[in-house]
């Protein structure tokens, strides 16, 4: 596939999750009761964002494997905890020093 060209493609499943679904799953997987403040959608916010990976699949044969939200959150959480244990997590700049 080395043609010297580059392209931009989406990696996704063709369906999405609501913010509520994600927050609920994160709380369940991590055991942390995250503080949540619900608000109206901001002007310009789309009602939904869903990645269509048809082009990527057509050009490369790639297909998504993991579309279970709990699995996705758990593996991301495990990875972040491992980075913390190793002391190799990059500073997000969001916490006071």
The pLDDT assigned to 1 comes to 58
Assess whether pLDDT exceeds 50 at residue 73: yes
Maximum alpha-carbon separation in the chain: 49
Measuring CA to CA, which residue among 41, 40, 51 is closest to residue 16?
A: 51
- As given in the structure block, the two tokens for residue 20 are 């509520």
Average pLDDT for residues 26-34, to the nearest whole number? 96
Give the global pTM.
Answer: 0.71
């Amino acid at each position: 596939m080395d043609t010297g060209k580059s392209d931009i493609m989406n990696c996704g499943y063709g369906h999405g999750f609501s913010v509520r679904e994600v927050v609920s799953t994160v709380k369940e997987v991590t055991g942390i009761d995250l503080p949540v403040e619900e608000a109206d959608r901001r002007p310009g916010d789309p009602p939904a964002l869903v990645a269509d990976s048809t082009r990527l699949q057509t050009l490369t044969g790639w297909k998504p494997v993991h579309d279970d939200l709990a699995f996705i959150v758990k593996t991301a959480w495990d990875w972040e905890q491992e980075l913390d244990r190793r002391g190799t997590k990059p500073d997000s700049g969001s916490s006071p020093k």
